[in-house]
């Protein structure tokens, strides 16, 4: 009986310790996102390879690089895809057969795209959207429509990556970009609602430390502390 209790205690301690950390796959997702955001293509190559070694599929990494264009722009996203192609060619030349993984499922488009995007966003924040829109959306109804229809419908509805993974990609890119505190704070809050712990987000900042200057790292830590 004492041995059984000891095993249970050790299991709980082991679980609690690892609950404070990101998995190797999550760390790879974060590093790939941050390096793409800062256009560090030389540094990105080994991290892409490490991501594959950590069990990410080709389609998952490809989807991450596509997702990023919504936050860091098409040029960086395309350069990231080109870098990934070079990595895959090198690995094939070395006899490494990487897993392609699943393709995106067909999306039910019977509902208006704006309504689908609104539904996805409400699922992310786990609350109904308020009737009064933020000031920037009142100023530019176009950006509201593009966000709902394209970002949260066209992109977030694709199931190659989970919503939790997409938020990890997003906050990692925002930390790397810097000077976007309101957006970073909002997406970190969504990350908590999608299942990340505050300790894991602190581990994220630690993981991205090599890619962030002192100012960006300090700002990221301050936002996490405010959660």
Q: What is the pLDDT of residues 191-223, one digit of tens each?
A: 999 999 999 999 999 999 999 999 999 999 999
* pLDDT score at 5: 52
Examine the domain organization and report whether 95 and 129 are in the same domain: no
Structure tokens at 193: 């609602």
> Would you say residue 48 has pLDDT above 60?
yes
Q: Are 161 and 202 in contact (CB under 8 A)?
A: no
Residue 131 in any domain: the answer is yes
Examine the domain organization and report whether 29 and 93 are in the same domain: yes
Dist CA 51 CA 61 (whole Å): 8
> Would you say residue 13 has pLDDT above 70?
no
* pLDDT score at 157: 96
Examine the domain organization and report whether 94 and 197 are in the same domain: yes
* pLDDT score at 1: 57
Dist CA 191 CA 178 (whole Å): 18
Examine the domain organization and report whether 88 and 183 are in the same domain: yes
Q: Which among 136, 103, 137, 104 has a CA at the least distance from the CA of 118?
A: 137
Examine the domain organization and report whether 136 and 179 are in the same domain: no
Residue 1 in any domain: the answer is no
Examine the domain organization and report whether 174 and 217 are in the same domain: yes
* Rounded mean pLDDT, 70-90: 98
* pLDDT score at 22: 98
| The model scores a pTM over 0.95 | no
Residue 186 in any domain: the answer is yes
Examine the domain organization and report whether 89 and 168 are in the same domain: yes
Q: What is the pLDDT of residues 147-177, one digit of tens each?
A: 999 999 999 999 999 999 999 999 999 999 9
Please report which confidence band the pLDDT of residue 6 belongs to, taking 50, 70 and 90 as the band edges.
very low
Residue 32 in any domain: the answer is yes
* pLDDT score at 73: 97
* pLDDT score at 169: 98
Q: Kindly give the interhelix angle for 163-177 and 113-125, rounded to the nearest 10 degrees.
A: 80
The Cβ of residue 127 has, within 10 Å, a number of other Cβ atoms equal to 10
Residue 19 in any domain: the answer is no
Please state, for a pLDDT cut of 70, what percent of the chain lies above it. Answer: 92
Structure tokens at 94: 């070395």
* Rounded mean pLDDT, 94-123: 96
Number of domains in the chain: 2
Q: Which among 8, 30, 13 has a CA at the least distance from the CA of 164?
A: 30
The Cβ of residue 89 has, within 10 Å, a number of other Cβ atoms equal to 10
> Would you say residue 8 has pLDDT above 90?
no
* pLDDT score at 144: 97
DSSP string, 186-209: HHHHHHHHTT--HHHHHHHHHHHG
Structure tokens at 204: 């994220």
CATH code at 196? Answer: 1.20.1290.10
What's the mean pLDDT when you consider all of the chain? Answer: 93
Domain enclosing residue 176, as ranges: 24-105+163-226
Q: What is the pLDDT of residues 14-33, one digit of tens each?
A: 444 456 899 999 999 999 99
């Amino acid at each position: 009986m004492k041995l059984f209790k000891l095993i249970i205690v050790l299991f709980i301690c082991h679980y609690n310790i690892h609950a404070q950390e990101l998995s190797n796959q999550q760390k790879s997702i974060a590093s790939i996102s941050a390096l793409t955001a800062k256009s560090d293509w030389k540094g990105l190559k080994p991290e892409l390879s490490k991501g594959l070694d950590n069990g990410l599929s080709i389609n998952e990494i490809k989807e991450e690089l596509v997702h990023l264009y919504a936050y860091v722009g098409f040029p960086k996203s395309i350069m990231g895809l080109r870098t990934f192609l070079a990595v895959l060619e090198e690995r094939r030349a070395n006899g490494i057969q990487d897993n392609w993984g699943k393709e995106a499922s067909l999306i039910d488009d019977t509902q208006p795209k704006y309504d689908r995007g609104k539904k996805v966003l409400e699922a992310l924040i786990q609350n109904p959207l308020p009737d009064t829109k933020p000031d920037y959306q009142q100023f530019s109804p176009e950006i509201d429509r593009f966000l709902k229809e394209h970002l949260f419908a066209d992109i977030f509805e694709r199931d190659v990556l989970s919503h939790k993974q997409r938020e990890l990609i997003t906050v990692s890119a925002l930390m790397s970009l810097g000077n976007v505190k309101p957006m970073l704070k909002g997406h970190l809050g969504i990350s908590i609602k999608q299942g990340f712990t505050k300790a894991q987000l602190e581990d994220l900042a630690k993981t991205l430390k090599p890619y962030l200057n002192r100012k960006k790292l300090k700002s990221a830590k301050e936002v996490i502390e405010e959660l």
